[in-house]
Structure 1
Amino acid sequence: MTMRDEDPTRPVPEGRDDGPTRPLRKGPDAPTRRFSTAVRGALADTRPLRTPAYRRLWTAGIVTVVGAQLTVVAVPTQIYLLTGSSAYVGLTGIFGLVPLVFFGLWGGAIADAVDRRVLLLLTGAGIAAMSLVLWVTAATGVGGVWLVLCLFAVQTAFLAVNQPTRSAVIPRLLPAEQLPAANALNMTVVQAGAVAGPLLAGVLIPVIGLPTLYLLDAVALLATLWATWRLPPVPPAAPEGRRQRAGLQEIVDGFRYLALHKVLLVSFLIDIVAMGFGMPRVVFPEMAERTFGDPRGGGIALGLLFAAIPIGMVAAGLFSGWLHRVSRQGVAVTVAICIWGAGVALFGLTHSLWLAVLFLAVAGAGDLVSSVYRSSMLQTVATDEMRGRMQGVFIVVVAGGPRIADLWHGPAAAGFGPGTAATVGGVAVIVAALAVVARYPQFWRYRGATA
């Protein structure tokens, strides 16, 4: 039977268009059906939630990320209250970066050598304990800015081990073709919490006081600890008969592996460019008060500025169903990072709060697309034996880039103004990202698996 002789009533495989013989195109309600199908295809892919272990982690994260964002707002706001200086707030960069680099790299090696479930439990408990100590110090007034910075550094060390371990668990729970969807779901929840958390913090600080935010964070972490407890064992995937270690040699081996895989290397470099030049969060407390009229100590403008980037990421995540159909992932990452840089640059130029929120939200949408594809590249290209170490490098880059931005945004804001610092950083993102991709064209040509 030829194609011309086929039965027109036979279902046509998805993705194939046989023109006027396609039954779904007939009838007065066909445009409505096509619109409905297009909308469903654009919405987030929820197939990973059919896996119980992943679903529990994802659901617990809805509660936990809100609490975590309360601390994200509380630490720089407390430091600004103690000192009145964005330069001191910028010190969170060095106090966060040093433990992040050391424990992120070492934590990735540990994640390749021990049961990842046990490691998640230990580090999650450590993060909660530090939030409790920060609550005690803030509530009692014991110590000063240096104590807050030191406690922040210890909490960052626990986080630096926890995050690569968590990311390395996901490919053991889901098939490879579902990883982009899972990453989009994860980031959507994280950023939804990053929207709700700062807004909630802006409302709660005048009502219950800044110290209580730390306590709420510690309580919220119980949800993730419960979900982690319910995970199956996730033992190391070392070759049979070989016991994996977590020493300096294993960390060095991870860097050698990274140097041989240029797609992974560039995915890290381009994110350092995006965050190291472009993340303007250090200037938020000063701009909220001096540009947008917040009262001293924070208010709704502060909450909106911290929430704006996550708002854009959530919006992009809710309509991320198309992401798994894109094969030119290197191109997608490059374009997305340029959108991030443009949004940050425009944010620095405006004196309207609502335009500032809009520009930061556009930047956030670009950041979500970039993050989804870079995470999927790592989880696909790296073998399970190396995945913990690669995730360790990943968390150092993802969290370390903003710390680098903190270091220079603070002094730049003090010297030239917060808006100028943000705009210069956004423009630098675009220029440097294009330069990196031009140097390594294989990243631009990279194609990922599609569902």
Structure 2
Amino acid sequence: MSLARTLVDVRPLRTSPVFRRLLIGRTASILGTFMTVVTVMFQVWDLTHSTVWSGAVGLAQALPLMVVGLFAGSWADRGDRRRIFLVATVGQAVCSLLLAVQGFTGGVPVPGILALVAAGSCFGAVGGPAAGVFVPRLLPKDQVAAGLALNQVTAQAMMLLGPALGGLFLGWFGIGVCYLIDALSFGLSFYGAFGLPKLPPEGEPSRAGLHGVLDGLRFLAGHRVVRGALITDLAATLLAMPMSLFPLINEERFGGNPRTLGLFLSAVAVGGVTATGLSGWVTRLARPGAVMLCGAAVWGAALALFGFTSSAWVGLGLLVVAGAADSVSVLSRTTIVQTRTPDALLGRVTAAEQIVGQAGPHLGNLRGGLVAGWTSGATALITGGLLCVLAVAYVATSTPELRDGATAEPE
């Protein structure tokens, strides 16, 4: 296989100027968002020195996505997705601008800061399902997976760069400037989407309110391939999410060295960025379901093996493998969802995928912490990884069309 076919497929950047502008705006917005994540955590801790309030930051970000998400998906399937995304982007920019104002002026209590974070997350929950239709509507079918890979590799790069820049800018300029940069980044996101054509749903629009939400859930329950893809993601995150276990594993096996802990956290991200950067061969394959299942199984197996090792270097290697496998699995899952869901339902299904992606890791970290409290960090990691492999094997055997089928027309 040639190097050009191994590296991430950049055809969408050459063939679609609209996609190119959209990707630039999205990348800037993600960078600003991760700078704000660090800034909010720093500000709340600086004001309270309370782990309870620090934990509330995560809830303020995640709960609106879960509560608003499905209804937002139904809304996205009734109207012009472009307009909905632009409105949501303006809302997020306003929330970031208000955070910047309080950062410069001070005096806002912590609940007020969290309320602004939650409001921004609500707008994000609305914009996410609307944006879920952009790639399959803008690109030819044979470039959809490549477009999703470009989205993923830029997002992962910003996940690495954003917190580091956030920390530097906090030290140099203070919290107000970091929030202001995030607000400006939404301006680039708005510019990227402004040139899109109107994107009303193709087919029958969603019914209003709860009826539309239930229609989306019925589709998920009845479509075996899409349902299997989301269940696989839940198996990987709910059963095997390792982040909450890293400090305990580091203490149990590696003497509690903070530098080792930092490398553990970075190794997963490095594996993910590397795999996505070399995803050209993945996006050109015609069996994303099989790739997704293999990736999720390798993720679980690598984490289980990490629980057994007493060598820091071997452990880091296993975490790089786990991060790479997870990245390939996520890319393949997103490709399945985007290409097997009818356009008229894509907002609701994207909202469900967004909820799974947000809730699964949080619940998985909680599961790992509880099991570790009853046993040990290594036991929690090993059992979680093995359960993930078993769950993925069950999905593979019970859903042959996911395992064997090529990416096909929406059913």
- The question of a shared fold, defined as TM-score above 0.5 by the shorter chain, is answered with yes
Q: CA deviation at 1:57?
A: 0.6
**Distance of aligned partners of 1:71 and 1:356 in 2 relative to their CA distance in 1, 3 Å threshold:** farther
Comparing 117-126 and 350-359, the one that deviates more: 350-359
**Distance of aligned partners of 1:71 and 1:387 in 2 relative to their CA distance in 1, 3 Å threshold:** same
Structure-2 residue corresponding to 1:328: 287
Structure-2 residue corresponding to 1:276: 238
**Distance of aligned partners of 1:194 and 1:120 in 2 relative to their CA distance in 1, 3 Å threshold:** same
Larger radius of gyration: 1
Helix, strand or coil for the counterpart of 1:340? helix
TM-score w.r.t. structure 2 length? 0.84
Structure-1 residue corresponding to 2:147: 182
Tell me the alpha carbon deviations over residues 212-239 of structure 1, each in whole angstroms, 9 at most, x when there is no partner: 4333222222211111112122123244
Structure-1 residue corresponding to 2:29: 64
**Distance of aligned partners of 1:231 and 1:225 in 2 relative to their CA distance in 1, 3 Å threshold:** same
Distance 1:411 1:376 in 2: 33
How do 1:47-196 and structure 2 match up within 5 A?
A: 47-49=11-13, 50-79=15-44, 89-92=54-57, 94-137=59-102, 140=106, 142-144=108-110, 146-196=111-161
Distance 2:170 2:400 in 1: 48
**Distance of aligned partners of 1:81 and 1:253 in 2 relative to their CA distance in 1, 3 Å threshold:** same
Say if 2:135 and 2:148, in contact at 8 Å, map to a contact too: no
Stretches of structure 1 that go unaligned for 5 or more consecutive residues are: 1-36, 295-299
Q: CA deviation at 1:364?
A: 2.2
Stretches of structure 2 that go unaligned for 5 or more consecutive residues are: none
Q: CA deviation at 1:195?
A: 1.5
Distance 1:182 1:275 in 2: 24
Structure-2 residue corresponding to 1:15: none
**Distance of aligned partners of 1:200 and 1:125 in 2 relative to their CA distance in 1, 3 Å threshold:** same
TM-score w.r.t. structure 1 length? 0.77
Helix, strand or coil for the counterpart of 1:142? coil
Say if 2:225 and 2:401, in contact at 8 Å, map to a contact too: yes
**Distance of aligned partners of 1:357 and 1:226 in 2 relative to their CA distance in 1, 3 Å threshold:** farther
Say if 1:198 and 1:307, in contact at 8 Å, map to a contact too: no
Say if 1:74 and 1:214, in contact at 8 Å, map to a contact too: yes
Helix, strand or coil for the counterpart of 2:132? helix
Task: Please say if 1:217 is aligned against 2:182.
Answer: yes
Percent of pairs with identical residues: 34
Helix, strand or coil for the counterpart of 2:8? coil
Distance 1:86 1:356 in 2: 29
Say if 1:93 and 1:402, in contact at 8 Å, map to a contact too: no
Distance 2:295 2:396 in 1: 13
Q: CA deviation at 1:414?
A: 7.3
**Distance of aligned partners of 1:415 and 1:218 in 2 relative to their CA distance in 1, 3 Å threshold:** farther
Tell me the alpha carbon deviations over residues 118-137 of structure 1, each in whole angstroms, 9 at most, x when there is no partner: 11111112222233334445
- How many residues are matched? 404
Say if 2:74 and 2:206, in contact at 8 Å, map to a contact too: no
Structure-2 residue corresponding to 1:263: 225
Distance 2:397 2:54 in 1: 35
AA aligned opposite 2:282: L
Question: In angstroms, what is the RMSD of aligned CA positions?
Answer: 3.4
**Distance of aligned partners of 1:209 and 1:274 in 2 relative to their CA distance in 1, 3 Å threshold:** farther
Distance 2:275 2:187 in 1: 28
Say if 1:313 and 1:364, in contact at 8 Å, map to a contact too: yes
Say if 1:341 and 1:429, in contact at 8 Å, map to a contact too: yes
Say if 2:206 and 2:344, in contact at 8 Å, map to a contact too: no
Distance 1:196 1:78 in 2: 20
Say if 1:94 and 1:403, in contact at 8 Å, map to a contact too: no
Say if 1:349 and 1:423, in contact at 8 Å, map to a contact too: yes
Distance 1:138 1:407 in 2: 31
Say if 2:73 and 2:126, in contact at 8 Å, map to a contact too: yes
Task: Please say if 1:249 is aligned against 2:176.
Answer: no
Q: CA deviation at 1:110?
A: 1.0
Helix, strand or coil for the counterpart of 1:322? helix
